[in-house]
Structure 1
Amino acid sequence: MLFTDILALGILCVITLVVALGRTRRRVYPLPLPPGPRPLPILGNALQLDTKRPWLTYTAWGKTYGKIIHSRILGIDLIIINSETIARELLDKRSANYSTRPVIRTNELAGLAFNTVLLPYGETLRQHRKIFHQVLKAEVSVSYHEMYSRHANELVINLLGATSDWQKHTQAYTASLIMAVTYGHLTDGYEGSFLTRAHELLDIAKHIVSPERAAMFTAFPFLEKLPFWCFGGALSLMGRSRELAQQLLNEPFDEVKGQIANGTASHSLVADFLSQAHDDADEDTMKAVALMGYIAGIETTTSTLQIFLLAMVLYPDIQARARAEIDQVVRHDKMPCLDDRASLPYLDAILREVLRWHPVVPLGVAHATSNDDVYGEHFIPKGAIVIVNQWALSRDEDMFPDASRFDPSRHLTVDGKLKDSFANHVAFGHGRRICPGRWFAENSLWTAASATLAVLRIDHAKDSNGDRIEVKPEFCTGTAIHPEPFHCSFESVNTAREGHLRAMMNSK
């Protein structure tokens, strides 16, 4: 590198350092900020974080500083909420001030600016949510009941023959459902390629789009000029992310176009859009909505389904009680369906406990304040990043005694009725940014869980010596988590239902 280049880089670093120092200077606030750990100059609390599992750090801080905490990373204000009451008070009741998102530069650098989840509050977001609402609202989601059942029945048969590769069947279940709604039926070879690349994109994105990871690009903008490879880890893959995003935005959309031209397109969100005139959305918007519906759904729903199966292995008594409830309500040779749901409260309680026991998105999706605010005796500045620590909420011993234990009865009244609504669970977010696909996710999870329990016993697998393989709950890291692969077995406990499913599969 030439001396002049080194000098220029040095000057740029000094300027950036001065800017960062300026960002760390405290504004004079009319009230104190929420309590929190003492920050270092410039770095703030960055060195105190568990960078792989920041929710654990925030939960530990909560025990020292309380239910609402202030932290600073590279001059950026973070407000961490460790209480469901406070989360609903601010994000639900004051949603006008808490509905936008912080600027996550890694999201944009990775070619994911179309990401509905991180769009700022405004017209583009309203367009996205309007389209999602048309195909995923409660009454429409229920109308897909035959599709849920068909795919859930296929899942059961596939699990029955599965060994260590059972995870791929849960991915295929979720992916095929969302594919059917968004793009319809694409060619079999292409669907496999699409799913593989979508998971690759997700694996990159969930490690780079957190506020903590993105903070250094906000504090030091010159870093954007450096080649991605120099950052190492997932950040070095932002170029690959751009490439994948463009492929996934355009290729399935263009295939549906081709199907419409030759008359082979099935009913779907994209096919309906292309077949009708639209004044309120263009092709780029529809491409973004379709892809986001797909990749957001497969990650969260698949992970939740895998956590459900993990819980069933670890808690066989709970599994047996749920199966007994199904057998009492549903005829022995008939599969449960959504019409039976109101009569199966314990199964619903299990799914609520799955969401609580290991939240799939432990820190939710960050909000940002549009204006200054006051909560109690504390000041919350405009532009602060607001994080709801779902892990802390799930481990609140006042609400959930012995919180690490899986116990569906927490969600039932003494007379066996459900206490709360699944679709309003904190796992789906808050206020105007609540997940528009929550009813679709809820129905697809319920159908898969009920079908699996109606036919199969989920148990520990055995090794070549016939000894039980122990299962220890371990989870990947990132903005979204899922169980690390574990061994389990699937045994039919209802030959009448199994035969019914196989007959239906053979008649396809």
Structure 2
Amino acid sequence: MLFTYILTSGISCIVALVIVSGLTRRRVYPLPLPPGPCPLPFFGNVLQLDTKRPWLTYTAWGKTFGKIIHSRIFGIDFVIINSESIARELLDRRSANYSTRPVIRTNELAGLTFNTVLLPYGETLRQHRKIFHQVLRADVAVSYHEMYSRLASELVINLLDATSNPQKHTETYAASLIMGVTYGYLARGHEDLFVSRARELFDISIHIFSPERAAIFTAFPFLEKLPFWCFGGSLALMGRCRELSRQLLNEPFNEVRAQIANGTAVHSLVADFLSQAHDNTDEDTMKAIALTGYVVGIDTTASTLKMFLLAMVLYPDVQARARAEIDQVVRHDEMPCLDDRASLPYLDAIICEVMRWCPVAPLGMPHATLNDDVYDGYFIPKGAIVMVNQWALSRDEDIFPDASRFDPSRHLTVEGKLKNPFVNHFAFGHGRRTCPGRWFAENSLWTAVAAILPSCALIMPKTQTETGLR
């Protein structure tokens, strides 16, 4: 018995030493890595990092080490980009090397591998993006104008309800839009089962697929054998996340199938798929595409609208200027529509500023290098996790003076025109991983903002109460 104990303990120590030596041995590169904080043995920089808000740490490091920095967490190389020009150079112009995603084991453990956003670069991703392009590209996105307007009107009516929650209504608006396109489904208020499940899934997943948190599973694969509750926090919810993924992949899809059988189905991505023969797309792929669309689409649109409402409370001068612009272009008894957009550039500038002022995803989505690379004399190794710190981009005083202030006019030329196309905003990502739904997001956000602004005088007191600003 004693011999068995000693043998087991000895083997465990040897395994631990092998792992530690593998994580701490100094690698030799032909050129220096990008500058960054000095890593500790074994841990790297993980103990120096705010794991809940790593973008703030990376931004602070950027002030010391520069626009491109290197850190290491449990032996994994991280390259953080704090400059839009560097992001464009690497992720856009060298996209062939920066378009894949890192392997993040928590995504697989939590059942999130269906998500188009997380797929490695390859044929499956190209198939997903091709289908998204069919229903969300620029010319098709504009064709949904009647749906945008109808749901935006409902959103305004709901926001005027003094007993309601603005955040829930923005989620319902976003959910109804994307689920209308994918499933032909209209969300039944903020208590809708599919919407509440999608919200729960997203809330769990944004913590799970953090590469900084997931690094420990790469360093110690045996941890995967432990029950999820051992990890505490959001990682303890990986089992719940897997259950939600299974439900949402199948239940909305099966509801459309039942509607087709009884003749009540309406035109949608899934209905068209189930009604026609498809040689190159299987059912599991379509389920994954549809679920990605509404899980990702709900949060990004709803969060942006929530920040818009907050900005209008905090900056009444911006609100007044936007309403004045609308009054000059649109009759008082009408709501602005997409046909009026070219004459209302300040509205576009407001949305651009909302997305800059409070990025929905401060670190975007992580990229990974397929091969070694060199930038500005620095070596970027194969397999490194590369992240664009959108928070740092949004606070770059050289590009956005007085960056903490909400100022839509910074996006306009002297002549009052929009400086850059909305779809080129860094919030939509870079290179071959740019969001395929950016035109749909653009139109849905603009229509909602244009509908809300004329009623701001009635909505804002309610929003002030909800945000605790009174």
- Stretch moving more, 197-206 or 82-91: 197-206
- The alpha-carbon deviation at position 415 of structure 1 amounts to 1.3
- Stretch moving more, 156-165 or 236-245: 156-165
Distance 2:327 2:233 in 1: 49
What letter is aligned with 2:173? Y
1:115 is aligned to 2:111: no
1:81-160 → structure 2 map (5 Å cutoff): 81-160=81-160
1:360-375 → structure 2 map (5 Å cutoff): 360-375=360-375
1:39-50 → structure 2 map (5 Å cutoff): 39-50=39-50
Is contact 2:148-2:444 (8 Å) kept? yes
Q: 2:338 maps to what in 1?
A: 338
What letter is aligned with 2:155? L
Distance 1:172 1:267 in 2: 20
1:332–1:367 Cα change, 3 Å? same
Q: 2:31 maps to what in 1?
A: 31
Distance 1:415 1:270 in 2: 45
1:486 is aligned to 2:431: no
- Stretch moving more, 262-271 or 453-462: 453-462
Q: 1:383 maps to what in 2?
A: 383
What letter is aligned with 1:93? R
Distance 1:153 1:407 in 2: 27
1:340-359 → structure 2 map (5 Å cutoff): 340-359=340-359
What letter is aligned with 1:294? Y
Q: 2:401 maps to what in 1?
A: 401
Distance 1:386 1:188 in 2: 40
Q: 1:459 maps to what in 2?
A: 460
Is contact 1:152-1:448 (8 Å) kept? yes
Is contact 2:176-2:187 (8 Å) kept? no
Is contact 1:44-1:75 (8 Å) kept? yes
Is contact 1:16-1:220 (8 Å) kept? no
Is contact 2:329-2:343 (8 Å) kept? yes
1:295–1:12 Cα change, 3 Å? farther
1:118–1:354 Cα change, 3 Å? same
- The alpha-carbon deviation at position 341 of structure 1 amounts to 0.4
Is contact 2:304-2:355 (8 Å) kept? yes
1:273–1:299 Cα change, 3 Å? same
Write out per-residue CA displacement over residues 21-70 of structure 1, whole angstroms, 9 at most, x where no aligned residue: 21332322111000000000110000000111000000000000000000
Distance 1:422 1:183 in 2: 27
Is contact 1:459-1:488 (8 Å) kept? no
SS in 1 for 2:452: helix
1:195 is aligned to 2:195: yes
- The alpha-carbon deviation at position 488 of structure 1 amounts to 7.3
- The alpha-carbon deviation at position 6 of structure 1 amounts to 9.9
Q: 1:183 maps to what in 2?
A: 183
- The alpha-carbon deviation at position 459 of structure 1 amounts to 2.7
Between Structure 1 and Structure 2, the one with more helix by share is: 2
Q: 1:254 maps to what in 2?
A: 254
Write out per-residue CA displacement over residues 362-420 of structure 1, whole angstroms, 9 at most, x where no aligned residue: 00000000000000110000000001000000000100111000000100111111100
- The alpha-carbon deviation at position 460 of structure 1 amounts to 4.2
Write out per-residue CA displacement over residues 279-298 of structure 1, whole angstroms, 9 at most, x where no aligned residue: 11100000000000000000
What letter is aligned with 1:443? N
Q: 2:161 maps to what in 1?
A: 161
Write out per-residue CA displacement over residues 301-360 of structure 1, whole angstroms, 9 at most, x where no aligned residue: 100010000000000010010011001001111110001001001111000000100100
Could you list the runs of 5+ residues in structure 2 that have no partner in the other structure?
Answer: none
Q: 1:268 maps to what in 2?
A: 268
Is contact 1:366-1:387 (8 Å) kept? yes
1:221–1:331 Cα change, 3 Å? same
1:44–1:342 Cα change, 3 Å? same
Distance 2:411 2:39 in 1: 39
TM-score w.r.t. the length of structure 1 is 0.89
Could you list the runs of 5+ residues in structure 1 that have no partner in the other structure?
Answer: 463-467, 470-484, 490-508
Is contact 2:172-2:189 (8 Å) kept? no
Is contact 2:172-2:190 (8 Å) kept? no
SS in 2 for 1:79: strand
Is contact 1:163-1:487 (8 Å) kept? no
Q: 1:503 maps to what in 2?
A: none
Write out per-residue CA displacement over residues 208-251 of structure 1, whole angstroms, 9 at most, x where no aligned residue: 10110110000110100000000000100101111111010001
Is contact 1:460-1:488 (8 Å) kept? no
Write out per-residue CA displacement over residues 470-500 of structure 1, whole angstroms, 9 at most, x where no aligned residue: xxxxxxxxxxxxxxx62579xxxxxxxxxxx
Q: 1:72 maps to what in 2?
A: 72
Is contact 2:152-2:451 (8 Å) kept? yes
Write out per-residue CA displacement over residues 161-210 of structure 1, whole angstroms, 9 at most, x where no aligned residue: 13462211111100111110011136859981111111111111011101
Distance 2:163 2:377 in 1: 56
Is contact 1:55-1:362 (8 Å) kept? yes
1:186–1:348 Cα change, 3 Å? closer
Distance 1:310 1:186 in 2: 27
Q: 1:465 maps to what in 2?
A: none
Q: 1:214 maps to what in 2?
A: 214
SS in 1 for 2:192: helix
Write out per-residue CA displacement over residues 77-102 of structure 1, whole angstroms, 9 at most, x where no aligned residue: 00000000000000000000000000
1:435-446 → structure 2 map (5 Å cutoff): 435-446=435-446
What letter is aligned with 2:467? F
1:349–1:6 Cα change, 3 Å? farther
- The alpha-carbon deviation at position 454 of structure 1 amounts to 2.1
SS in 1 for 2:202: helix
Identity value in percent: 77
Is contact 1:353-1:406 (8 Å) kept? yes
Distance 2:407 2:413 in 1: 13
- The alpha-carbon deviation at position 8 of structure 1 amounts to 4.6
Q: 1:54 maps to what in 2?
A: 54
TM-score w.r.t. the length of structure 2 is 0.96
Write out per-residue CA displacement over residues 110-163 of structure 1, whole angstroms, 9 at most, x where no aligned residue: 011111111000011111111111100010000000000000000011111134
Is contact 1:460-1:487 (8 Å) kept? no
Distance 1:379 1:213 in 2: 25
- The alpha-carbon deviation at position 456 of structure 1 amounts to 2.9
What letter is aligned with 2:323? R
What letter is aligned with 1:388? V
Is contact 1:336-1:454 (8 Å) kept? no
Distance 2:9 2:130 in 1: 46
Is contact 1:33-1:379 (8 Å) kept? yes
1:229 is aligned to 2:204: no
